[in-house]
Amino acid sequence: MTLSTTIHSDPTRQQADAWRRQTSLRRFYTALGVGLLLVAMFATMWFADEANAGHFYDRLPHTLDFLSWLVPKDWNDVWRALFDIASPNDKGTQEFNFPLGRVYIWGGFYIPEYFELMLTTVNVALVSTFIGFVFAVPFSFIAARNLTPSPILRLVVKRFMELLRAFPEIVIAGLFAAIVSIGPVAAIIAIGLHSIGALGKLFYEINENIDMRPEEGLRAVGANWFERVRFADLPQVLPNFMSYTLLRIEINVRISTIMGAVGGGGIGEELKLAISRGFGAKTLALVLLLFITIFLVDQFSAWLRRKLVGEQAFLMSA
Amino acid sequence: MAAMTVDEISAIEDRHPQIFQRPAYKRFWPLLLIAGTVLYLGYALWFFSLPQVLRESHWERLPLFLSQWISYDLQPEFRLDQPEITPKYPRFSALGENPDPDWVIKNPDGTYTVQIDGEAKSVTFDKTKATITANGVTVPIALTGSKPVVTGPVPDWVTVHDDEIVAKLGFAGEVRVTVDRVKVRKRFLGWANFVFDTRSPFFGKPYSEVISLIVSGPELKPGTSNLALAADNFWNNAQWQHGDVWTKLLQTIVMAFLGTLLGGIVAFPLAFFAARNITPSGVLSQVLKRFFDFMRSVDMLIWALFFTRAFGPGPLAGSAAIFFTEIGTLGKTYSEALENIDDKPREGVLSTGANEILVQRYGVLPEVVPVFISQTLYQWESNTRGATIIGAVGAGGIGLKLWEAMRTNSNWANVFYMVLLTLLVVFIFDNISNVLRRRLSRTLHDYNRLQAEQG
């Protein structure tokens, strides 16, 4: 009994007890958090399964059947589909009518259909990223706290960009499909508007973190707002702007593919058709082309970003 | 200002040759970039045949569509060739079974007056003549001949067609007159029947009456309490489909949550094997990294289409698509975070003779868990937006519903309702994720500062 009282009065022992209490409390909270997350996970799994047309366990055995049609009887058909070369398996159905899609440029010289569609998708991504960049740059200067003194102007521009970012692209695309006809132009407008918001947010955050000394120097010699932004701010932020724009191109290529599947022109639509009708060779050709393109765009953009801003481009700030 | 001599200028130039004598490609690359961009834009103009598309576009529809987002119209039609003039409303109009709006007035002398915007914009007619009043002008139209004739001057808001006279009254609506019928379109600001549709027993009742009915009224449908009936009528509102819309919205949220969470769970262990500083085997690391690239590069769309085909349309397909894409994205970011850690804590734990798992648990995890969680939250946020789009290809959620409502071009108010709900959800989730990430980043910040202080 006397022993325990002496231990309790020991300050080291008290500290150890406090530490143990704290740890067990933290462990309890961690366990509680993980438990809640698991409950939420299983609840949502059940919900997703209930709401789906086919259920997970019923469909699982059939998944392999469905993958089996992907394996073409003749592997050469994949290449033929990709380059629009006539197939000996052609029986007049849409499954093997490869040469029909040829886009003749001049005489007998043609671009295969899928390459033309892929080009459309990439062009949609590039043009919409350009639109985003052109509008996001001036907006970002107006939205930056250190460059624009008027809080009302800042607030208006920031809220506007937030709205553009959160507005579902598919609604903008649908609205403009009714105005400029369904196709790639509606997709460009939708993705472009979204890019303005997305890039604008990233850009103004960069602007707010610049070194203000060049700006003060220019202010001291009487430069106006445009001159200060042009010569003090722009040289500091341009590499980062470019890096984020390249990242946006990667994202926009993916979005424009999806837009294609809902009528925005380009490769998405063809892919959706091929998969829903079960054209194995065509599906494989399209997936291959899309995979290679996205991979190349990603790698090229990563290489260029590394050159522009170094390793910083790959560190996600927490 | 003291002028510089030539010697001084050349001395400065000699001291900083890297500024004054840059190689040609460095001096001209901005110009080249701009020229390239201009050339590309010219090509894009041709590629999308933009001039033609813009020429054939219908910009006049834009204000009409936008006004339809927040308004609705009623279109009564009056046949003049019947024995008696009676208003006819389209079936399923917002007024319900027995429409008797107070802006259609049967005058004592047998004429009808339709007030489109109060007294100021209205039309009065019988079988022989119609009088349109608007903008302070009265336009009489004779209907006795084989086609309608405006007697008097024709103002510019009235168009005379061959057998029809159209008066456009701006946002308020329009009047179309032929010899045998008068057609009126009157536009109302707001959403019609947002709470109860026309089949509901609560339809058309003022709010105070509805509330008193719910609190203490007699049962409108025997065996069901009025509160349950009202909730059921609201949930199953045929025009707005609140129940369906909210369920689909929940599906979208679930898809993003489930996909991101499962992706994180699978990517977590794989990332340790992919990180070059933790896994000694270079082959395994390379294989896993290429696998992550593959999962990312096979687009979310392709996964969505595949899983829609495999499991049928619905949120299961969408969750699976996000799950597969996230294995790639999160695996890549996790492994990059692992490769950027400080190796000292790991070496410290290793030097105590701990086994591999304990080294990861106490030497690596405390450093990367905040980064992992932060990146997962970021992906969750962006997937909540993305889930709306992939829904449109059949992967479940609100996307498909939005797309279907838009395709008919007639239901823009419904579209706007769904957009508002989506914006609300995105806004809430953005903020949750932002708050959580800021709290985490404070932890990260403290951790970094502590490390810096300890040298």
**Can you give the residue ranges of every domain in chain A?**
2-63, 113-314
Q: Which residues of A touch B258 (CB under 8 A)?
A: 41, 44-45, 48
Q: Which residues of A touch B336 (CB under 8 A)?
A: 314-316
Residue B447: what pLDDT? Answer: 59
Q: Which of A60-69, A183-192, B22-31, B113-122 has the highest mean pLDDT?
A: A183-192
Domain boundary among B236, B264, B297: B236
Q: Which residues of A touch B315 (CB under 8 A)?
A: 47-48, 51-52
Residue A311: what pLDDT? Answer: 63
User: CA-to-CA distance for A315 and B162, rounded, in angstroms?
Assistant: 70
Q: Looking at the structure, do residues B183 and B211 belong to the same domain, yes or no?
A: no
How far from the centroid of its chain's Cα atoms is residue A98's Cα?
Answer: 32
Contact B131, B121 (CB under 8 A): no
Q: Looking at the structure, do residues B254 and B279 belong to the same domain, yes or no?
A: yes
Band (A317; pLDDT cuts 50, 70, 90): very low
In the predicted model, what is the mean pLDDT of chain B? 85
What's the structural domain count of chain B? 3
Band (A149; pLDDT cuts 50, 70, 90): confident
Task: Supply φ then ψ for residue B112, to 5 degrees.
Answer: -110, 145
Range of the domain at B222: 192-236
Query: What is the per-residue pLDDT across B317-362, written as a single tens digit (0 to 9) for each?
Result: 999 999 999 999 999 999 988 888 888 888 899 899 888 889 888 8
Q: Which residues of A touch B317 (CB under 8 A)?
A: 52
> Which among B44, B392, B427 has CB closest to A166?
B427
* Mean pLDDT lowest among B94-108, B109-123, B235-249, B382-396: B94-108
Tell me the average pLDDT across B1-17: 81
Residue A245: what pLDDT? Answer: 93
> Which among B319, B374, B419 has CB closest to A48?
B319
Give the predicted TM-score (pTM) of the model: 0.83
> Which among B59, B314, B336 has CB closest to A53?
B314
Residue B449: what pLDDT? Answer: 63
- Nearest chain A Cα distance for residue B329, angstroms: 12
> Which among B48, B58, B423 has CB closest to A184?
B48
User: CA-to-CA distance for A45 and A49, rounded, in angstroms?
Assistant: 6
Q: Looking at the structure, do residues B182 and B108 belong to the same domain, yes or no?
A: yes
Pairing status of strand B137-142 against strand B129-134? antiparallel
Considering the domain boundaries, does residue B380 fall inside one?
yes
Considering the domain boundaries, does residue B33 fall inside one?
no
Residue B234: what pLDDT? Answer: 87
Tell me the average pLDDT across B423-434: 87
Residue B318: what pLDDT? Answer: 92
Band (A1; pLDDT cuts 50, 70, 90): very low
Counting one residue from A and one from B, how many pairs have CB atoms under 8 Å apart? 200
Band (A256; pLDDT cuts 50, 70, 90): very high
Percent of chain B at pLDDT exceeding 70? 96
Q: Looking at the structure, do residues B415 and B319 belong to the same domain, yes or no?
A: yes
Query: What is the per-residue pLDDT across B213-239, written as a single tens digit (0 to 9) for each?
Result: 888 877 777 777 888 888 888 888 888
Residue B198: what pLDDT? Answer: 79
Domain boundary among B159, B174, B189: B189
Pairing status of strand B77-79 against strand B87-88? antiparallel
- Nearest chain B Cα distance for residue A4, angstroms: 32
A170 touches chain B (CB under 8 A): yes
Residue A123: what pLDDT? Answer: 95
Pairing status of strand B173-177 against strand B181-189? antiparallel
Q: If DSSP states are collapsed to H, E and C, what string results for chain B?
A: CCCCCHHHHHHHHHHCHHHHCCCHHHHHHHHHHHHHHHHHHHHHHHHCCHHHHHHCCCCCHHHHHHHHHCEEEECCEEECCCCCCCEECCCCCCCCCCCCCCCEEECCCCCEEEEEECECEEEEECCCEEEEEECCEEEEEECCCCCCEECCCCCCCEEECCCCEEEECHHHEEEEECCCEEEEEEEEECCCCCCCCCCCCCCCCCHHHHHHHHHHCCCCCCCCCHHHHHHHHHHCCCCCCHHHHHHHHHHHHHHHHHHHHHHHHHHHHHHHHHCCCCCCCHHHHHHHHHHHHHHHHCCHHHHHHHHHHHHCCCHHHHHHHHHHHHHHHHHHHHHHHHHCCCCHHHHHHHHCCCCHHHHHHHHHHHHHHHHHHHHHHHHHHHHHHHHHHHHHHHHCCHHHHHHHHHHCCCCHHHHHHHHHHHHHHHHHHHHHHHHHHHHHHHHHHHHHHHHHHCC
Residue B452: what pLDDT? Answer: 59
Query: For residue B91, what are its two tokens?
Result: 């079936």
Q: Looking at the structure, do residues B247 and B112 belong to the same domain, yes or no?
A: no
* Mean pLDDT lowest among A246-250, B304-308, B340-344: B340-344
* Mean pLDDT lowest among A191-200, A202-211, B212-221: B212-221
Residue B92: what pLDDT? Answer: 67
Is A54's CB within 8 Å of B311's CB? yes
In the predicted model, what is the mean pLDDT of chain A? 86
Is A316's CB within 8 Å of B311's CB? no
A268, closest residue in chain B (CA to CA)? B301
Q: Which residues of B touch A316 (CB under 8 A)?
A: 333, 336-337, 371, 374-375, 378
Considering the domain boundaries, does residue B46 fall inside one?
no
Q: Looking at the structure, do residues B199 and B100 belong to the same domain, yes or no?
A: no
Higher-pLDDT residue of B144, A197: A197
* Mean pLDDT lowest among A3-17, B187-201, B374-388: A3-17
User: CA-to-CA distance for A100 and A122, rounded, in angstroms?
Assistant: 23
pLDDT higher than 80, residue A35: yes
Is A174's CB within 8 Å of B437's CB? no
- Nearest chain A Cα distance for residue B153, angstroms: 35
In one letter, which amino acid is A152? I
Domain boundary among B123, B154, B189: B189
Residue B443: what pLDDT? Answer: 67
* Mean pLDDT lowest among A128-137, B77-86, B319-328: B77-86
Residue A314: what pLDDT? Answer: 56
pLDDT higher than 60, residue A171: yes
> Which among B53, B310, B340 has CB closest to A66?
B310
Residue A318: what pLDDT? Answer: 32
CB burial of residue A16 (10 Å; 0-12, 13-18, 19+): exposed
Residue B40: what pLDDT? Answer: 94
**CATH architecture of the domain covering A113-314:** Orthogonal Bundle (1.10)
Q: Which residues of B touch A259 (CB under 8 A)?
A: 389
Residue A316: what pLDDT? Answer: 45
Residue B450: what pLDDT? Answer: 62
